[in-house]
Structure 1
């Protein structure tokens, strides 16, 4: 979807003089936008790399809105006309800091999560925090900004922007892009059965078919025939990867007439977060997306299991999900097709002042274990007692909480080298890495924040550094260069192509 947007908006290069300005203004007037975030997550943007670059994270949302005649026609039931839409499709697109790889993660719509306190940017209505709710309901409780905040709480990943599209928008974009090849192992007809009502209406023969417009929407919405929501996500990834390959082969950037059509369609079909709510901003964004090689684009689905309270709902498999979120936070590619990163050579460090005696250090311990989940009760007191036992007699637990993904020892910036030495002695006593020691201009003294990476135990165990392509079982990864992938069809929905 984003390469299509990028191609669409590059038409602005062609605009010159009065006609170009008027068309630019026309496209700007098409764009709908609202606030980036609907609540507070405490997640901070990643630090820049040595080249001053940071990763780019964009939340892609497909809404199931039926609040227009076109959407009712395409989306089925009229019973939900007037209801607040849900986030039927949710994908997090991660572009690496060096813009050389792209990773995408889908979450099935019925995955159970905590939805934070949110405020709808368009209506001003506030919503209290709620737990054990399907993630698709986040859109109803504060708009796309709340869906973004829900994702930040869940993943610990800072999300720069969101982009949302509805059924009619998908059809319009699919028509503008043109035919995209998809494949099924057997013929498929996603229809009502005696056991299950509904279905997308998708009807294709075995093998490869070219879909566009409403057929493309049917492919993207098919769930029953493909077995479940996880497989529906895989089919969506297959379509998106095929679309990227198609646009790449067509060299669509050079076709001025097609670019204008795509730009017109994209600006009408999409709703975006405010900070990218102009053609120029979207164009600048597109320039960062267009050059990622096809074989460096990998799409995945978060591994899930049945929820114990309802077999029709899902929960993330915590260890597997954490592994994938950590890869995104650390900007580790989901594919193995990049060049190995050169290891930094060790350099001699200038000697600083010695740390003060442990028993003289005034140290505050803060519970930061509540990022994306309930905090671990009493965690600050536990670690304060550990420090007391190691001679840090003045270490005490704070009653405040500061959710944070990783454990860190802050020292006041004005304390300079002495503060750093004192903080390093705390880190060493607990087995924390040197990278856990950080200056903080807001810190009034030494502060240990026990993060979500250390919820249990009295000895810190550094997480294993993830390697490129090291995805957990069940991630269902699909690289955009893989052209031979076909969807399995659940037996009830197999179709013989009208031969019988």
Structure 2
């Protein structure tokens, strides 16, 4: 029934004429069935008309609501369909999820990977290097976003793309091809089993369990930068990252000195620039400055009251990101964004992994042993990089054993492995025997060394296969001063197994370094998320 049909059946009386209103009142007073024109009308005509109008209104409202909800649902499905998903881990990794705090909360770790893929016309146009079209992508940007268990602080840690590391055995989930373990620069891990292999590489290097990964390519960066509307960045001198007689290539970034708002292709150029900043670690610093500025910009924008802006951001994000499958819905990505948004800017710290030049290749880097180890330890123990709340976080690293051992010390079997080798260090000969001997002296009569060669662990860890042996593993760790955060359940072992890592190459007891000052090593190039004064220096050959 249309609105015009209703009006024809029951025309509204002209109440502007005094007679109509008075006659209606008279009829009400007398109970007469006559209308003001003297014609009779059926009793109850008014109420039936009212009911029809109400029915029409309810029907129309229902159609509008269902139509809107249907469109919303279809749009939600459309956004979900935009998202590409993949396997969380495709490599041999041994990191274990952190234990929850007293409130039942766990830290959240997300690996952000910037791919240099040139497998589309758009990416070739933006990234150049047409000869590389069709080649497996490399992970040229790799950054771990760490949200503390209480969601009061966050950290962003980058590893430069040319850092040489151990890459574990990985299987590409799309092709089924298996790649053997190797030692190579970290950006090649993306080509050896996808983002899941890069995640496994990070876990083995850092000992930090990584919950999710996200990848974004050149075109995705441009879409996101445009959707945000621009981000403020700063250079102290005019910059032009272009080919020179000595160094080919360059991002093409060209800006005048000062603070400038960049978006689209220029934002991509900023994130890709390396030569003009002087090094790969300085490129990571520029990326941190961009992301910090982006987060500050998004905080200022009230996108949730602007449907157009919100739609643009949702479209850009879902079309630009590929994510690990367990967060492959709009709702889950939104929830992650809200958790990051809840952290104040001044509690976000970004830094690049402390590094040193690779003696085998001056173009490559290596983790700076003690400095990098300290950063990874702080992440594992959920110690804030800004030094705030450090006392509470420190208690977690000093927790007491939670399980009773299943047997006396002299009946606990312990296998000790020599895993002291690393990408830069040869294994310490006889290390497994020395630590096993120390355990025997402490009363663990069944401790023995493992003769397997070539094992590598960045940090010392005690593993156990079943819940029944957790107390035994904790007892072994406590006797040697190993923190309980390094006691892990693993299906890779058949009994309590102590892997003596590269962080314990000498001494009878493990030295668990406590954070000092703000906790970060002096070699860490850190930036606070609220610092809007940061500005990049331009390497002299690229000034104009």
Please say whether Structure 1 and Structure 2 have the same fold, judged by a TM-score greater than 0.5.
yes
Aligned to 1:173: 224
Residue 510 of structure 2: which of 461, 464, 487 is its match?
461
Residue 448 of structure 2: which of 376, 396, 406 is its match?
396
Aligned to 2:414: 364
State the alpha-carbon separation in 2 of the partners of residues 222 and 343 from structure 1. 38
Judged with a 3 Å threshold, the aligned counterparts in structure 2 of structure 1 residues 106 and 390 are, in CA distance, closer, same or farther, namely closer
State the alpha-carbon separation in 2 of the partners of residues 274 and 245 from structure 1. 28
Aligned to 2:256: 205
Residues 109-153 of structure 1: CA deviation (Å, up to 9, x unaligned): 11111111101111111111111x111111111111111111111
Aligned to 1:81: 133
Residues 322-363 of structure 1: CA deviation (Å, up to 9, x unaligned): 0101111011111235585398799999xx99985x6x5353
Aligned to 2:199: 148
State the alpha-carbon separation in 1 of the partners of residues 220 and 526 from structure 2. 26
Deviates more, 1:232-241 or 1:329-338: 329-338
1:187 aligns with 2:256: no
Q: 8 Å contact 1:334–1:470 — kept in the other structure?
A: yes
Aligned to 2:280: 229
Aligned to 1:43: 95
Shift of 1:294: 0.7
Answer 1 or 2: higher relative contact order, Cα 8 Å, separation at least 6: 1
State the alpha-carbon separation in 1 of the partners of residues 399 and 281 from structure 2. 47
State the alpha-carbon separation in 2 of the partners of residues 188 and 260 from structure 1. 34
1:270 aligns with 2:321: yes
Residues 382-428 of structure 1: CA deviation (Å, up to 9, x unaligned): 22223344554443334577969444486986599xx76x974x667
Judged with a 3 Å threshold, the aligned counterparts in structure 2 of structure 1 residues 59 and 454 are, in CA distance, closer, same or farther, namely closer
- TM-score between both structures, scaled by the size of structure 1: 0.85
1:477 aligns with 2:477: no
1:104 aligns with 2:156: yes
Aligned to 1:244: 295
Aligned to 2:364: 313
State the alpha-carbon separation in 1 of the partners of residues 399 and 141 from structure 2. 48
State the alpha-carbon separation in 1 of the partners of residues 187 and 488 from structure 2. 39
State the alpha-carbon separation in 2 of the partners of residues 391 and 123 from structure 1. 51
CA RMSD in angstroms, aligned pairs only: 3.4
Aligned to 1:137: 188
State the alpha-carbon separation in 2 of the partners of residues 347 and 55 from structure 1. 17
Shift of 1:24: 0.6
State the alpha-carbon separation in 2 of the partners of residues 409 and 60 from structure 1. 29
Judged with a 3 Å threshold, the aligned counterparts in structure 2 of structure 1 residues 269 and 459 are, in CA distance, closer, same or farther, namely same
State the alpha-carbon separation in 2 of the partners of residues 347 and 392 from structure 1. 22
1:128 aligns with 2:128: no
Aligned to 1:115: 167
Determine helix, strand or coil for the equivalent of 1:341: helix
Aligned to 1:92: 144
Aligned to 2:61: none
Determine helix, strand or coil for the equivalent of 2:496: strand
Q: 8 Å contact 2:288–2:350 — kept in the other structure?
A: yes
State the alpha-carbon separation in 1 of the partners of residues 186 and 486 from structure 2. 35
State the alpha-carbon separation in 2 of the partners of residues 392 and 441 from structure 1. 21
Determine which structure has more spread, i.e. the larger CA radius of gyration: 2
Shift of 1:263: 0.2
Judged with a 3 Å threshold, the aligned counterparts in structure 2 of structure 1 residues 169 and 320 are, in CA distance, closer, same or farther, namely same
Judged with a 3 Å threshold, the aligned counterparts in structure 2 of structure 1 residues 362 and 445 are, in CA distance, closer, same or farther, namely farther
Judged with a 3 Å threshold, the aligned counterparts in structure 2 of structure 1 residues 431 and 491 are, in CA distance, closer, same or farther, namely same
Instruction: Report how many aligned residue pairs link the two structures.
Output: 472
State the alpha-carbon separation in 2 of the partners of residues 348 and 200 from structure 1. 52
Q: 8 Å contact 1:404–1:451 — kept in the other structure?
A: no
Aligned to 1:7: none
Q: 8 Å contact 2:356–2:366 — kept in the other structure?
A: yes
Shift of 1:316: 1.3
Q: 8 Å contact 1:154–1:371 — kept in the other structure?
A: no
1:62 aligns with 2:114: yes
Shift of 1:487: 0.4
Structure 1 runs (4+) deviating above 6 angstroms are 342-349, 352-355, 370-375, 409-412, 436-446
Judged with a 3 Å threshold, the aligned counterparts in structure 2 of structure 1 residues 47 and 28 are, in CA distance, closer, same or farther, namely same
1:19 aligns with 2:74: no
Shift of 1:83: 0.9
Q: 8 Å contact 2:98–2:485 — kept in the other structure?
A: no
Q: 8 Å contact 1:61–1:91 — kept in the other structure?
A: yes
Determine helix, strand or coil for the equivalent of 1:258: helix
State the alpha-carbon separation in 2 of the partners of residues 396 and 251 from structure 1. 62
State the alpha-carbon separation in 2 of the partners of residues 444 and 109 from structure 1. 32
Judged with a 3 Å threshold, the aligned counterparts in structure 2 of structure 1 residues 67 and 437 are, in CA distance, closer, same or farther, namely closer
Aligned to 2:45: none
Aligned to 2:383: 332
State the alpha-carbon separation in 2 of the partners of residues 149 and 347 from structure 1. 27
